[in-house]
Every structure is written in C-alpha cells, then in structure tokens.
Structure 1
Amino acid sequence: MFELTNRVAVVTGSGSARGIGRTIALTLAGQGAKIVVADINRDGIQETVDAIASTGGEAIGVELNVTSEDSVRSMVEQVLQAFGRIDILVNNAGISQKVSVEEMTLDDMTRIFSVNMFGLFLCTQAVLEPMKKQGYGRIVNLSSVSAKRGGGVFGGAHYSASKAAVLGFSKNLAREVAKEGITVNCVAPGLVNTDIWKSLERNLANSVIDGIPMGRPGETEEIASAIAFLASEEASYITGEEIDINGGSHMD
C-alpha cells in the first residue's frame, strides 16, 4: 500500500527540524519516492538529505525561496535535470505569527501571505506543465485547523486567512486539472508535537490540550502518513478534499 517507488516528490520546507517537513520527506522516501528537499535553510537541507540517505533513500537538496518566482522556476529546472519528472508536490513551507488584528500591520499580512499562499501558488503553477505532460501528478497542500475554526495557538488572523485561502485555491485547481491526471488535496493539521509546540509555556500548553478530545498533540508521523496516502496511487479518485488531522479539536 502507498507504494511510491520511482516517484519524484518535491517537499517544500523540508529542511527545518522544527516543523513536520522533514518527517514528510522521510516518510515519502520510506515508501520508495525520490525526494527533493527544497528549503531556504542550506544547513537544514543537507541534514534532511543525509537523514534520508542513512535509511537507504535517495534525495537531492535544492535551495528554494518560495516567494521568488525565479527561485521556484530554477528549482523545477534542477529537479527535471536530475530526475526528468515531478510526480508529487507537497507544499509544506509556511510561517506564522502570533499577533492581534489591532496590532497587526500590512507588512505582517503581506509577509504571511507571501509564504503561505503566494509561495504555494508559485510552486504549484511551476509543476503543472511537467505533470500535465506526464498525465500524472499529486499535489498536497498544508492548510491548518486554524483555517476552519478561526484561529489557534500560534497564528493570528492573517495566518488563519492564509490557510483558508489554501483550501479555496486547492479546490478550484482540483477542478481545473482533474482531467489531466492530477489530483489536488489538502491536509489540515491541528496541534502537532514539534519543537514549536514544545516551546510553549506549560500553562498555555495544558489549556490547549484540554481542548483536544484525544488529550494529546498529534505526531509528525501521523500527518506525514496521511500525506503519503494522498500522494499514492490508492488516492487516485480523491481530489479537492481536505483531511482534518486534529484529534477532534475541530469537527466539520
């Protein structure tokens, strides 16, 4: 199940050890995919590539600034030169900021959207041509429980808005490219056990846990497993959907 042998997967934001990108890259590699570790963090890129190599997987690293169209186009060119195809794109790169609307600036709003939405758009647009030529593609976008329930722990209204925009964008694109053999889906994680979560003050952390019926944060592997499914052949008839992974903190 979820066999990804010889598939080429680009995972943005997979150089950081603080979020879930590295786990996503390792999980897809474990299913046989060739991984492109795309991140702005040079040192982190190499750490993820080395981690994949240590498990017998194949990976290359590409420095990427998702907010730069030139950087994104260069990344795609490098991947096509290295592997000749792009089968899977996981738009994981994202940033957050805890600030009230009253204190928020237009620069704050622009910065969050530039990475979380505009960067996702640039990466997605850039892979559509090679995916269409293949007649095959899997695009998985990272949204958030904050997009659906109106905020959370780490982000302000601009973060929630950017992640809600990801959902709407993904559904529209799914309709556009469905007949091309390309699926477009989202995962919307809730609280996840990352270094970011661990840095929270404990009283605040405990209050967040109280709002989760399962009584714990999710693990990065639990998010990555859902992404591996959506990236697989088995998910071939699923498009325009989002999978909520939040321990019951939000239920549609």
Structure 2
Amino acid sequence: MKNVNEQKKYNHLLLDNKVCVIVGGGSLRSIGYATAELFAAHGAKLVLLDLVMNEEKAKEATNAIASQIGYTPEIICIPCDIRNTSDCEKAIAEAVAHFGTIDCLVNCAGIVKSEGMLSITEEAYDLIMDVNLKGTFNICQSALKIFAEKQAGVIVNLSSLSAQRGGGLVGGTHYAASKGGVISLTKAIAREFAPKNIRANVICPAMIETSMLDGLSEQQLKDVVSGIPLQRVGKTVEVAGACLFLASDLSGFTTGATIDVNGGIHIH
C-alpha cells in the first residue's frame, strides 16, 4: 500500500499554474481549442492566439472552456497573424506582461488546400508556406527568446501525416512540403536548445474531426476511413491529449520526437 506522500505524487494537475500559449484556437472545432480546454482542465493559464481572434470569439472560447471544466480559467485572447514577425513579438510580449512569463507554446495554426502540383500558383504556394512554415518559425522564435532567458520551456508543433507520406489524403504538394518543414524545424530547435533545458516535439495527426474535413464528400470520407486500421477519424481531444503529454513533465526526457496520432494509417 502506497504511503500518503507517494499517493500525492500522482494526484496533481499536469500543467498547474503553467502559462501555455496556444496558437490556432479561434474555432471551437479546432485542435487548438480542444488543447486549450484540456490544458485548462489541468490547471494551465491560457494565452490563445489566432488570426481571427476578436472579442466575440474570445468570449465564446472562454465560456465554452468554463462550461466544460466548471470554472473560468485564467485566459487572455490575442489576435495574431503569425506570418508577421512583429505580430508574434507583440503577442508574446503581451502574454509575458500579463502573466509574468510563458512556459509552453503549442502551435496548432495551419491552412490546407488540395490541388495538383501543376495547378499550384506562386500565390497559393506562398500563402501555404507563409502560414504553415514561416508562421511556425516566427512564433517559435518569439517564444524561444523568453525560454532561452529563463532556461526552460516546451514547444509542441503540429505537422501532418501528409509530411510523412508525401500527401495522398488532404492537401497538395505545397501543404505536404510546408508540414515537412515543420518537422525539420522542430527537430533543429530541439537539438539547438536542449542544453538550455528547452524541449521541442512535433505531432503528426491524420484525419481529425475539424473543418479541414468539410470539403470531403460522404463517399470520400468513407473511402478514407476504410483505410484507417481503427476504422474512424480522430477526435480533436485525442490530438490534444498528445499535446498534454508533450507539454507536461511526463515527457521530460522527450525532445526532437515525432508523435503519430493517425489511427494506424501510417505505421513506420
């Protein structure tokens, strides 16, 4: 039988009083929102960033989280275009000014477009790359300035199964390439900043119940599901669970890792 001290060791919130910046939480159907809700349930203080964030969306997210966890979390919501370095700098500065520091960055922001290689215009290519890869770089760089100074911090970036298998599901070659860059970027951050006690890991989801599936017909979705060993698409909270693991001390010796959340559709 465990003694009282041993029992207490396991009876704590995984992110108690941690300040977590989550990018891409403007929609209640998003992985970013699901991550914010789960983190709040584990005691985190939240900073929600999104290009479309406004007073209405901030209130919607805050109320939704409060209704799920039973109280209103400490939360600030900031509009931020991660394509813009000054936006990222200002958002992180505002978070630090409000909470005193930041402890974790989870970047769920991303856009997708499905089109053949020969149909991709320069404008479409630049937009995908600017949001998915450059935007990830920008917000990571801004957060890392704080993490490097305090000699501690955690980064979780979202990539995609498309980066691992060369597309083939949702998203064109530019999308797959941008998400492949996110994997490499995260590994490089992990290697460079590990001596400063900063960890960085990446998650590669497959088909998840978000607005990204809205463009698929019922038959297309059925065809996709038939190829998934678990025979269903994933839930946003299941990706959020992987984010929670990587953000918490449970993964304290994990950095530079790629975590698959794909129902077994890609096993390697």
Once the two structures are superposed, what CA deviation does each residue of 1:126-184 show, in whole Å capped at 9, x if it has no partner? 01121122221010000000100111332100000000000111111101000111100
Task: Please say if 1:168 is aligned against 2:184.
Answer: yes
The residue that corresponds to 1:37 in the other structure is 48
Matched residues in 2 for 1:120 and 1:206: separation? 32
The answer to whether 1:221 aligns with 2:234 is no
Q: What is the deviation of 1:210?
A: 1.1
Give 1:156's aligned residue. Answer: 172
Post-superposition Cα deviations, 1:195-227, rounded to whole Å, max 9, x if no partner, equal: 432552111111101111110001111100010
1:46 aligns with 59
Q: Aligned match of 2:148 in 132, 136, 139?
A: 132
Which residue does 2:96 correspond to in 1?
80
Please list, as runs of the form range in 1=range in 2, the aligned pairs for 1:1-252 lying within 5 A after superposition: 3-41=14-52, 42=54, 43-54=56-67, 55=69, 56=71, 57-252=73-268
**What amino acid maps onto 1:17 in structure 2?**
L
SS at match of 1:133: helix
How far apart, in 2, do the equivalents of 1:29 and 1:70 lie?
Answer: 28
Q: Secondary structure at the match of 1:171?
A: helix
* Offset at residue 20 of structure 1 (A): 1.2
- Residue identity over aligned pairs, in percent, reads 38
In 1, are the aligned partners of 2:162 and 2:170 still within 8 Å (CA)?
no
Change (3 A) 1:23 1:132: same
Q: Is contact 1:27-1:221 (8 Å) kept?
A: yes
CA shift digits 1:25-53 (9 cap, x unpaired): 11111111001011111233332122233
Radius of gyration: which is bigger? 2
Q: How far is 1:70 from its partner?
A: 1.2
Mean Cα deviation higher: 150-159 or 101-110: 150-159
Q: Tell me how large the CA RMSD over aligned residues is.
A: 1.3
For structure 1, list consecutive stretches of 5 or more residues without a partner in the other structure.
none
Q: TM-score, normalised by structure 1?
A: 0.96
**1:69 to partner: Cα distance:** 1.0
What SS class does the counterpart of residue 102 from structure 1 fall into?
Answer: helix
Please tell me whether the aligned partners of residues 112 and 212 of structure 2 are also in contact (alpha carbons under 8 angstroms): no
TM-score, reference length from structure 2: 0.91
Q: How many residue pairs get matched?
A: 252
**Contact 1:5–1:33 under 8 Å retained in 2:** yes
List per-residue Cα deviations over 1:79-133 (Å, max 9, x = no partner). Answer: 0110011100001110010111111011111100100000110100001121122
